[in-house]
Amino acid sequence: MANPVTPAKATRQTTVRKPARRIRGWDNRMAFFTLIPSLILLGVFVYGFIAWSGYVSLTNWNSLIPTLTWAGLRNYATIFSSFRFQSDLRNLVVFTVLFIAGDLVIGMILALLVDQKIRAEGLFRSIFIYPMAISMVVTGVIWSWILNPTTGINLFFHALGFTHVPEWFLSSRFAPSVHLGQIDIGIPVGLLAVVIAAVWQMSGFAMAVYLGGLRSVPEELKEAARIDGAGPWRTFWSVILPQLKGTTATIVVIQAAASLKVFGLIYAMTGSGQDFSTDMPNLNMFQTTFQGDAFAQGAAIAIVLLLLMAAFTVPYVLSMLRGER
Amino acid sequence: MAARRVNQTLIYLVLIIASILYLLPVYVVLVTSLKSNAAVSLAHMWNLPAHPGLSSIRAAWAQLSQNFGNSFYLAIPATLLSSALGAINGYALSKWRFRGANALFFVILMGLFIPYQSVLIPLLRVMDTIGLYNSIPGLIIVHTVYGIPITTLIFRNFYANIPDDVLEAAKIDGTGYWGIFRYVILPLSVSGFVVSAIWQFTQIWNNFLFAVSLTNPPNQPVTVALVNIAGSQTIQWNVQMASALLVSIPTLVVYIVLGKYFVRGLLAGAVKG
């Protein structure tokens, strides 16, 4: 009816296609059905449990007896005014910034070096990535030995004649130390030791991602820069680095997510530290909830973490999905 | 030419120094593990053991062997289950078009980016209620469920690289949804399963948060046992390092043998599908 000219060939095609299309329609529905078990599991274990935690955070359940009476935002007020949680937020910001900066710089340097058409490239890559295969609690245990103030790296400093050696993760100093309300704003020196361990563990990821990025920069661009008389540094800053903007953004998002999840490393390496100088919200939540039995306050900490996480991962995942099409 | 050679030498020099720094913890762990209780001392931490022996490793194994069993009993089923679910989901999401497919993928994928503290309180309650608190089967369920987002992502990206033409012939023959999966997709999935399995095994073996929250002795996985050993005041550094070594061996062996696939899992979350 739609097409006045109907050649015999076209008619034959439709008769062949018809059953296939019918099956496909049914199979597309089948594809949806097969997702249902996973959707139910995640619906309960992720979204349902988050909603449940959110609800707990608004109740008075701060003892072993689940008192689910309405508390409004009181638990949030309690945690935000507490010395410990304020310290946590400072530590989280310091840790995230230093950890990501260290990862980006070291990851980029290693990627550039490995990308120089060198021999044994695979071996070097393997060496820089292997810490990713190790548990963060193992990392914590090993580095608490290497950075132990009475031994480890400090033996080298002693051998070199230094009398004032770093206290590493046992330090309770702040640099700089600016009082703001009840907490010191500044870099908790003890946290630097944790950053070192974390960068050791995760910089291989940044290297691997940057290496992939470097290899997808079109050769013509580098060639054009060379013809224009740009040296290697100039080419890197003005041609290659801008091409890697998306790659850098990806590393920042993934590593920021990792930093918001850091738990085992702190637990095994330093604990909360003196005056919570190496504490993190995750550890605070765990101890508040399961050792202090303040379930509602623990839930409030968890919800704050979740919101922080969602603030940058939701846009990231959305743009990733949109970029596919 | 001379300048180029100097440059090359410099590159190798920096790479070798960096490699030494990255391998430093391995050196420390090995030399400390091979020392005996009597030989370990703070002042001579960096020295090679004068009389290398396995007494520390044996002491560590005595403390960890049961937890090793727990970790294998946990990691292997949870790896297989989450990979199987990931394959089914990835096939559905990459090879079939149904309304809302992308929205559902988003819903699944966001499970990758939650701080697990935000589900921990209900999780403990539910596990307790269904009688799976403090049990390895409970941990298997937990790791299977929270593994679904990454395995789905791995398989969706993997299947997206299989050309649709491969499926067309089977579709025209009238092969159904599961027939195509069984006879066309699965035979092509081996390396997808390797990537997913290696990633999941490593993550589950190394996990600490769920392990410490959901289990007590004697049901604890190795990571918790290691922290208990390290936290004990009476256990010497040589045994701690030997424990750290033992805990790392399974994932390191997998990495050394199948590193290429590990890196693909590592990049799964970072590379657009």
Which of B26, B35, B113 to probe by mutation at the A interface, max A CB count within 10 Å? Answer: B113
Select the residue of A134, A136, A302 nearest B115 (Cβ to Cβ). A302
CB B154 within 8 A of CB B268: yes
Give pLDDT, residue A24: 65
What is the nearest CA distance from B273 to chain A, expressed in angstroms? 7
Per CB-CB distance under 8 Å, the chain A contacts of B104 are 32, 35, 39
Which backbone phi and psi does A8 adopt, to 5 degrees?
-60, -35
Q: Which of residues 159-198 of B touch A (CB under 8 A)?
A: 171-172, 174, 176-178
CB A54 within 8 A of CB A71: no
Give the best-scoring range by mean pLDDT among A77-86, A114-123, B41-50: A77-86
Q: Is a pLDDT exceeding 90 seen at residue A54?
A: yes
Answer yes or no: do B148 and A41 touch at CB < 8 A: yes
Give pLDDT, residue A229: 86
Answer yes or no: do A142 and B241 touch at CB < 8 A: yes
**Is the minimum CB–CB distance between B70 and chain A shorter than 8 Å?**
no
Q: Is a pLDDT exceeding 50 seen at residue A9?
A: no
Query: In angstroms, rounded to a whole number, what is the distance separating the alpha carbons of residues A295 and A287?
Result: 10
* Per-residue pLDDT tens over the stretch A205-245: 999 999 999 999 998 988 888 888 888 888 899 899 999 99
Give pLDDT, residue B114: 96
- Residue A7 — very low, low, confident or very high, per pLDDT cuts 50/70/90? very low
| Least reliable range by pLDDT among A272-281, B27-36, B92-101, B168-177 | B168-177
Q: Is a pLDDT exceeding 70 seen at residue B187?
A: yes
- Domain A83-324 annotated CATH 3.20.20.80: no
3-state class (DSSP) for residue A207: helix
| Least reliable range by pLDDT among A2-6, A45-49, A251-255, B165-169 | A2-6
**Is the minimum CB–CB distance between B251 and chain A shorter than 8 Å?**
yes
Look over chain A and give the mean of its residue pLDDT values, rounded to a whole number.
89
The residue among A11 and A126 whose pLDDT is bigger is A126
Answer yes or no: do B206 and A317 touch at CB < 8 A: no
Per CB-CB distance under 8 Å, the chain B contacts of A141 are 226-227, 230, 240-241, 243-244
Q: Is a pLDDT exceeding 70 seen at residue A305?
A: yes
* Per-residue pLDDT tens over the stretch B193-210: 999 999 999 999 999 999
- Kindly list the domain boundaries of chain B, sorted by start residue: 1-53, 67-259
Continuous segment of H or E residues that includes residue A187: strand A183-188
- Residue B41 — very low, low, confident or very high, per pLDDT cuts 50/70/90? confident
Answer yes or no: do A254 and B269 touch at CB < 8 A: yes
Answer yes or no: do B118 and A254 touch at CB < 8 A: no
Answer yes or no: do B45 and A152 touch at CB < 8 A: yes
Q: Is a pLDDT exceeding 50 seen at residue A278?
A: yes
Largest CA distance in chain A: 96
- Domain B67-259 annotated CATH 3.40.50.1580: no
* Share of residues in chain A with pLDDT > 70 (%): 92
- Residue A23 — very low, low, confident or very high, per pLDDT cuts 50/70/90? low
- Kindly list the domain boundaries of chain A, sorted by start residue: 83-324
Give pLDDT, residue A155: 86
Give pLDDT, residue B21: 95
Q: Which of residues 109-128 of B touch A (CB under 8 A)?
A: 109-111, 113-123, 126
CB B74 within 8 A of CB B143: yes
Minimum Cα–Cα distance from A286: chain B residue: B117
**Is the minimum CB–CB distance between B208 and chain A shorter than 8 Å?**
yes
Answer yes or no: do B115 and A282 touch at CB < 8 A: yes
The residue among A1 and B54 whose pLDDT is bigger is B54
Give pLDDT, residue B273: 39
Answer yes or no: do A31 and B98 touch at CB < 8 A: yes
Give pLDDT, residue B108: 96
Q: Assess: ipTM above 0.90.
A: yes
Look over chain B and give the mean of its residue pLDDT values, rounded to a whole number.
92
User: What is the torsional sign of CA B53, B54, B60, B63?
Assistant: negative
Kindly give the residue spans of alpha helices, DSSP state H, lying in chain A. 8-42, 49-56, 74-81, 83-114, 121-129, 136-146, 153-159, 189-215, 219-227, 232-235, 241-243, 245-261, 264-269, 281-290, 295-324
What is the nearest CA distance from A179 to chain B, expressed in angstroms? 30
Query: In angstroms, rounded to a whole number, what is the distance separating the alpha carbons of residues A69 and A320?
Result: 41
The size of the A-B interface in CB pairs under 8 A is 277
